[in-house]
Amino acid sequence: MSEGFKIKRRRKYTEECLQDAVRAVANGMPVRKASLTFCVPRGTIINYKKSPIAQQLGRKTKLDPTEEARLVDMLIGFGNNGFPMNKHNLRTFVDEMGFGKGMGTVFSEKWHRRFLRDHGKQISLRMGSNVDRKKAREWTVECAQNWINLLSCLESEGYLSDPSAVINLDESGFILGFEKEKVYAARGMKHFPSYTDGTTRDAVSTLFCGDATGKMYRPLVLFDGVMHLQSMFDNTEGKLYIAVMDPEIMTEYFRKVILPNAPQKGTSRAMD
């Protein structure tokens, strides 16, 4: 039966024992004897004689702890202000730092994984929510409070007493054939915006409509008719290549879909 491997236990010593061992070696005591006398590893005594400053084992990291801490603060700052950075932005930035330090492009995928592992308690990769800047400027705290006050007035007037008469509409955009990248954000954030120029309705705009009982009405879908299959136009009414819901389209949708199916004729009130 083969003998199992012996586990080498790490010696425990104090700073005073190390100083006594170094002084004894300096006075002529052999390193081996000093190691046994003061219970300090021989390698520790030899390394301390070469450099008394404590250092981590292995080669040095490409960025020192101060630089990495500033990098983490920068990623969190960009994310909190609505302009999160993705992995490509980070790699480009650190490559510029590498050129400035004379190292070149030495920041590989392995470095990126180690960076996330070392700072995983502060940052994480998440999928951001695209929000155009114009909408972000318009939706303020005052607007939200006015919306809450409007709902309170409608409830007091009896418009919200019948769940089947409470109709909600929500517009959502879908980008076909495009995969969003994950961006960096502070650890623990459940939702953070990613502000973009222009609009987030790049390919398909869909207006979903339903009432409080769970009934869903037929949605209104606007999509670009240039880069899709012709079969997608089957059973549709007209085409709109700009993919913008103007007042005429909204009025036509209410007249043909919402009003004929509304439970209370003549008392419906639209809320968006």
pLDDT at 220: 83
Question: Are 159 and 252 in a shared domain?
Answer: yes
What 3-state DSSP class applies to 182? Answer: coil
In sequence order, the β-bridge partners of residue 196 are 132
Q: Which of 73, 106, 126 is the last residue of a domain?
A: 126
Q: Are both 108 and 140 inside the same structural domain?
A: no
Q: Could you give the CA distance from residue 139 to residue 133 in angstroms, rounded to a whole number?
A: 10
The tens-digit pLDDT sequence of the chain (272 residues) is: 455 555 666 667 788 888 888 888 888 888 888 888 888 888 888 888 777 766 666 667 778 888 888 999 999 988 888 788 888 888 888 888 888 878 777 778 888 888 888 888 888 888 776 666 666 677 778 888 998 999 899 888 888 888 887 888 887 766 654 456 677 777 777 666 666 555 544 567 788 888 888 888 888 877 655 545 556 556 666 555 555 567 777 888 888 888 887 766 544 444 44
Q: What range does the domain containing 33 cover?
A: 15-50
Angle at 54 between CA 53 and CA 56, to 5 degrees: 135
Task: Report if residue 226 sits inside a domain.
Answer: yes
What's residue 31's pLDDT?
A: 87
What is the distance, to the nearest Å, from the Cα of residue 7 to the centroid of all Cα atoms in its chain? 43
CA distance 264 to 261: 9
Classify 184 as helix, strand or coil: strand
Same domain, 253 and 159: yes
User: Domain check: are 225 and 189 in the same one?
Assistant: yes
> Which among 127, 227, 128 is positioned nearest to 176, based on CA atoms?
227
Asked whether residue 100 is assigned to any structural domain, the reply reads yes
Query: Going by C-beta distance under 8 Å and a sequence separation of 6 or more, which residues neighbour residue 183?
Result: 79, 84, 85, 86, 125, 126, 127, 128, 194
Q: Return the pLDDT at 73.
A: 92
Sequence-ordered alpha helix ranges (H) in 84-140: 87-100, 109-118, 133-138
Calpha distance 256→231 (Å, rounded): 23
Over its C-alpha atoms, the chain yields an Rg (Å, rounded) of 33
Supply φ then ψ for residue 238, to 5 degrees. Answer: 75, 175
Pair (149, 253) in one structural domain: yes
How many domains does the chain contain in total?
Answer: 3
